[in-house]
Structures are given as C-alpha cells and as structure tokens.
Structure 1
Amino acid sequence: MNALLAGQASLPRALRRRHAVVLLGTGMVGGAFLRLLDTPAGAALGLVGAANSRHQQTDPAGLAERSLRERLAVAGAARDDAALLAALDADAAVHKVIIDASASAVLAARHPAWLARGYHVVTANKALAGGDLQGWHALQAACAGHARYGDAATVGAGLPVLSTLRRLHACGDALLSLEGVLSGSLSWLFNRYDGTRPFSALLREARARGYTEPDARADLSGEDVARKLLILARTAGFALTRAAVQVENLVPEVLRALDTGQFAANLEALDAPLAARHAAATARGAVLRHLARIDRHGRAQVGLVEVAATHPAAHLRGTDNLFALKTTRYRAQPLVIQGPGAGPEITAQALLGDVLALV
C-alpha cells in the first residue's frame, strides 16, 4: 500500500487530479485558495484558468507561477469567460468546477446558467442566494440537475450551519428562531471595541487583516449580514425577501455617497456616534454586539444591540460567529454553532472543502 501511494505521489499532478478548476476572483480569498493548491489537500485539483475582473490566465505555465495573483493584478489576457469555460471543457478531469471567490453580482447571476451547463459551482459570493427571491428560485431550480452547488463559504466561512439547517429541514424539523452574530468582521470589531481606541482605528486594522469586505460599508451597513440571514432563512424554508428584513445601517449619512477611497479617508466620522452608544451600554452593564434574528413568523432584524454580560454573544472571541437555532426538536435548549467566521484562509478552506466534497 505504501508503495502504491508513493507511486501515485510521483505522478504528474495533471494525471492525478480529479477536478478541473477555474477560479474567478483573485483577491484575498482567491489568493488564499491559490496557496491551498500547493498543499497535499489541493493535489487533486487542476487549475485550468484564473481571472480577476480585468485579466485572466489559462496558460499552464502561467498558472503554475507562484506569483500568479500578483501578475494578474497588472497584466494578462483580457477577461473572457468563454475562453475560461473552453479551458474547462478541454480538460479530461472527472469534475469541472467554477469557483466564484468574487463579490460580483454580475458573476453570481450566472451561477444558474453554469449549473445548467453541467459545471459544478463553488462560491463565497452571496449576491445571488442572498439577493432577490427570484434569483434564489432560479438557483434552486438549477440545483435540481446533475451539477452541485457548494455554498458553505457564503455563511459562517465554512462553519456547518447551512448543512445543519438542510439536514434538520429534510428531517421535518422546523426553525422556530435563529439569533446570532453572522459577521466575522463585526464580531471582531465589537469584541475589541472597549472605548480605549477609536472605532475607526479598529476598522482600519480589520480591513488590513482581510476581515471586512473590500468596501467596509458592506459590513457596517448591515447588508452583508442581511444577505447571510436571507440565505439562512431560505435554507430553513422561509421565502423571505430583502424588504422583510429590518436592517440598521451604522454608516453615517455623510459617508454613504462617497467613493471607496473617500470613505476610507473619512472613517473618523464613525467614532462619535459609536462612542456614545458604547458609553450608554457600559452605564447599563451591557455590551454592544451586532446581531441578526429571525422568528418562526419570518420576522427578521439586523443591527447593533445591547446584550447583558451573561449573553452568549458577550463572550465571543476574535472573528467568532455564533448561530443559536431553536427548532421544534431543539426547543428547550438551542443548537449552537460557534467558531471563526472571517478571514481569507478559513474562507478559502471552505471553498476547497466544497470542491473535495464532489468526490
């Protein structure tokens, strides 16, 4: 057996792989995924194409370069999805997978068409499943075919919350309520925000660590959490629309219309309002946490709330996400899923896990 394994390990990677992969999005998550391809876990994957929003690479020699992400940032063939799909079609691998590591709504809208063509789709992109209800229904219809959809990275950065909800729903269990911290970036921010440092300084650090979305207003506005809550609710059987979710926007009006660069240069406008809320919560013996909630009637809210020091969310660490599920069979004691919910490495690992689950 050891000799057989040694022989397999010596084979060229192209002969050993069972997955041909096109990676769309080479930002922080996409870059982390590229690094995973050089680990033993990624040995079964063959990268046949990679692209950012402007450039792409399908040449095997170029794809094998360790500086692929950096090269695509400045040069490469013009982005052409037809050429990327042709590279997938030409490969002899058993499974042909499109990995969407972008945040593009345009790309997300193509997921049903890719599935209908027989490509597996693995994604961290929430724009379709957490967008309008019509897009969700189109996605579910496309998933009824042979191709599979890997979405573990869309909520909880791979924590087993979507798979748990699907299992419970399939067994006839019904969600009575869900409460939790759904944003790793907002978890990190409010776990650390104790009034000793301006909120703007913490936000800049979170951005540098890769915890926030490229435009942090996607986090602070509550819209990223709202998309996640919609995915969770729909997975649990609620046909929820975005209009049904009450969302608190933490971004002051003065910052909402700025471009991304101007917003980043004016983060101090966030400090005074949040300092006042922190002081008020502290005076009442509470802490601030960003929570998402849905009840059995489909009423859903997202926003910053005061919680007592005994609340489970008050004891989170780092980028922890928390999902507390009450169902007809987990009524007396909620089913709790907790763990890190942000970061390029764990999100990329969720993508890789979904690809490997195709075997």
Structure 2
Amino acid sequence: MSARVAPLRAATGARVALLGTGTVGSAAWARLAAWSGTPFGDRLRLVYAANSRHALHDPAGIPVEVGALLGQSQPVAASLDAVADALDGGGCRIVLDASASEAVAERHADWLAHGIHVVTACKLGQGGPLARWASIQAARRHGAARYGDSATVGAGLPILRSLRELQAGGDRIHAVAGVLSGSLAWLFHHYDGLRPFSNFVRAARDAGYTEPDPRDDLSGEDVRRKLLILARTAGHALESDAVQVDSLVPPALRDAPVAAFDDALPVLDAPMRERFAAAYKGGAKLRLVARLQAGGRATVGLEALAADDPLAISGGTDNRVAIWSDRYSERPLVIQGPGAGAQVTAAAMLDDALAIQAEAARAQASPVASRPKNASIGRGRWNT
C-alpha cells in the first residue's frame, strides 16, 4: 500500500494578486471562487484583484464571486505600485498576470527580484524585448522566485516543459515547428474556400478564440511572441526582430481604426480564396506555421502543407508542435491539444500557482530539502 500524502495546511497557503479581469482573468477568478472551502482554496488565497481601472484588497481574502470586481461600492484606483504592498509579509506570494499589458510585463522582473513569484498567460514578458527576457531570468535567480509560464505557449500544453526536460537530460534541440495559434488553427481548419474568409474571422472573434483585436492573430504577432519564447527556451537568445513574419494583414486592414475593422475585413476574402484554391489543387492544407530551424533562424507564415504533415493533422483550436532533437531526429516528438480558450488558459495558470505553493510549503516544512534557488517553473516542473 502506498504512503498517504498529508494534506497541505492552510498556514502554508499562498497570498495571490490577480491582475486582469478579462476572459482569462475572470475564468481564473471563477475557478478560485469554486475552490472556496476546499483544500485548494486554502492553498491559494486571493487578497488583491485589479484591472486597469479599479482594485480590491482584503488581506483575509476577497469574499466575492467573479464579476463583482467593478460592482463593489468603494473600489480603489488600480496601481501597480500597490501590488507588492498588498502582498507584503512573509510566506508564499504570487502574482497572477492575466492581463495583456506591457506595463504589467515590465514589472515581472521587479516582483521576482523581491521574492514574489509570477505566473502569467501574458507573452509580453518572455516574448517581448530580449533585454526584458534576460532581466526576468536574472531577477528570478536573484529573488529565488519562480516564474510560471505554462500558459504563454499552448495554453498549458507541456511544450515548454518538454523542451526544458529534454535539454536537462542532455538532449539537443535541432528544430521546432508548430501551429501555435488556436484561433488561426480554427480558422484554417474550417475555411472552405467557398464562404468569405472574413465571416470565419468574425465567428472566431465572437467565440472568444482570437485576441481582442483579431489583427494580433492575423498579423502573426501573437505567434511571433510565442516562437520567441520557444526559441529562447531552446537556447537561442533571439532579439524580438529576429523572427521573420509573413503577415496576413494587408495595409488597408492594418491601418483601419478598430471601429472600422469589420468594414475593412472583406479585403482578406479574395487573396485568401486564391491561396486556398492553390493549396487545394495540390492536395495540401493551409496552416500558419512557426518554425525554429537549426542555427536559430525563426519564421512565421502561411504554408501549404501536405495532408499527412504532422502539423496539418489537427482540428478545432488545437495547437500542434513538432520537436526534432538528438533522440527525436527521424520522427519528431509531436504535442497536440487545445491551444485557445479562457478555461484551459486559466487552468494552466492555476496549475503553475499550485505547484509553486506546494514547493514553497515543502521547503517551509523541510528547509534542508528545498529546491535550488535558481529554479523556474513550467507546469509543475522546476527548471534551472
């Protein structure tokens, strides 16, 4: 009979600040609220929540359900300076960044340097300027803090974890290629070359698959950031402009104001119909593919893939990533699963937060057995 693991005590729970109350932040808050009164709820106590306008702070835990943030009678003005103060004190402290904010991403390194763990779905930290990525790595080592990034690529699929574990085992990564956008995977899985492509874009946006501005997906910008994270994780410290991106957004759509986006969308219809027809004639499928090649060359663009290509066989919002390495040289390691959606993204964030809290609780109970100080986290795995 296996030994029974004792439950973690509430005293070892983490104090949590949630930044961002959009679709992902709301899903994370709902999940936290559902855990109230359970052991999971004892492990993660939400004491601060904020969006760009308002904030709530209660050291005993915010006793409100998701959606109530802006309904409070006396919310305080949101300020990033208030986050560290709200988490002040001993024990495990975690910032959950569910925003899409440059300003918040700029604070990641500072929080880490002060021993506050950061879990994020935002790609602007590790997928932004190289200097910011480097500062995050240095700060987490300096502050002996963890950085949970599982939700930044693949909505929690074990992609980053696999790259890190392969390298930790002495394997060398030769190349990585993937369909990294759940929204674009959905678009090109459903697009039939008959109905207007613009209609599919609107449907993906209305279903919550795309970024708030679908041009972030169509331009390849969202995928570019994800590829930068993958490349840097694989050992290639690429500058932000090192990724060659073939955008799907023509100038007329790129320059349109947000309010005029829907009216400008049909400019995509004719060129996409032509590209679909050319691929269909050759028995191929269109996919927006991100590639990291040997030597660190990185590209993002629409490709016509053979029907049996590992990246062409997908459905729905699935991400699909192929990794070639020493041990996977002839046939790649392929990872596939849902790559978009607030629920899976929020779950990935909270998985990282729970793993951080559990490791902190073990270290508190047995300091001698604590982990190396320069560890970071990727879906429950520590990586030096």
Query: Fold-level match, TM-score > 0.5?
Result: yes
**Counterpart among 167, 171, 179 of residue 173 in structure 1:** 171
Partner of 2:371: none
Counterparts of 1:300 and 1:81 in 2: how far apart (Å)?
A: 34
> 1:282 is aligned with what amino acid?
Y
* Residue 26 (structure 2) aligns with: 31
Partner residue in 1 for 2:378: none
Contact 1:55 1:72 in 2 (8 A): no
Letter in 2 for 1:23: L
> Where does the alignment leave 5 or more consecutive residues of structure 2 unmatched?
359-384
Query: 1:106 is matched with which residue?
Result: 103
Q: How much has 1:199 moved relative to structure 2?
A: 1.6
Instruction: State, as a whole percentage, how many aligned pairs show the same letter.
Output: 52
Q: Deviations over 1:196-221 (max 9, x none)?
A: 43221111121122211111111111
Normalised TM-score (structure 1): 0.91
* Alignment partner of 1:330 out of 323, 328, 331: 328
Secondary structure of the structure 1 residue equivalent to 2:33? coil
Who is 1:147 aligned against? 145
Q: 1:261 to 1:69 in 2, by over 3 A?
A: farther
For each residue in 1:43-80, what CA deviation from the matched residue of structure 2 results, as whole angstroms up to 9, or x when unmatched?
12111111111111114799322253562699832112
State the SS of the aligned residue for 2:224. Answer: helix
Distance 1:59 1:18, change over 3 A: closer
Per-residue CA shift, 1:106-133, capped at 9, x if unaligned?
2101101000011000001111211121
Give the letter aligned to residue 150 of structure 1: G
Partner of 1:80: 79
Please tell me the residue identity of whatever aligns with 1:273. P
| Paired position in structure 1 for 2:273 | 275
Q: Counterpart of 2:132?
A: 135
TM-score by length of 2: 0.85
Q: Which residue of 2 is the match for residue 89 of structure 1?
A: 88
Specify the code of the residue in structure 1 equivalent to 2:50: A
SS of the residue corresponding to residue 109 of structure 1 reads helix
- Counterpart amino acid of residue 321 in structure 1: N
Paired with 2:59 and 2:316, the residues of 1 have a C-alpha distance of 39
Q: Which residue of 2 aligns with 1:124?
A: 121
Distance 1:280 1:108, change over 3 A: same
- Structure 2 residue matching 1:34: 3-state secondary structure: helix
1:315 to 292, 297, 313: 313
Q: Which residue of 2 aligns with 1:51?
A: 50
Shift of 1:225: 0.5
Contact 1:175 1:327 in 2 (8 A): yes
CA deviation after TM superposition for structure 1 residue 320, in Å: 0.7
- Could you tell me which amino acid in structure 1 is paired with residue 87 of structure 2? L
Quote the Cα distance in structure 1 between the aligned partners of 2:345 and 2:11: 25
Kept after mapping to 2: 8 A contact 1:169/1:237: no
Compute the displacement of 1:314 (Å).
2.3
Rate the CA distance shift 1:318–1:42 in 2: closer, same or farther, 3 A: farther
**Residue 178 of structure 1: SS of its match in structure 2?**
strand
1:90-120 CA deviation, whole Å, 9 max, x = no partner? 5x6x311011111111210110100001100
Aligned to 2:15: 20
Task: Provide the aligned C-alpha RMSD in A.
Answer: 2.3
CA contact (8 A) 1:115 1:148 kept: yes
Q: Is the 8 A contact 2:94 2:116 kept in 1?
A: yes
Q: 1:39 to 1:237 in 2, by over 3 A?
A: same
1:190-244 superposed Cα distances (whole Å, 9 cap, x missing partner)? 1111124322111112112221111111111111101111110110101112222
Give the secondary-structure state (helix, strand or coil) at the position aligned to 2:256. Answer: coil
Tell me the number of residue pairs that the alignment of Structure 1 and Structure 2 aligns: 347
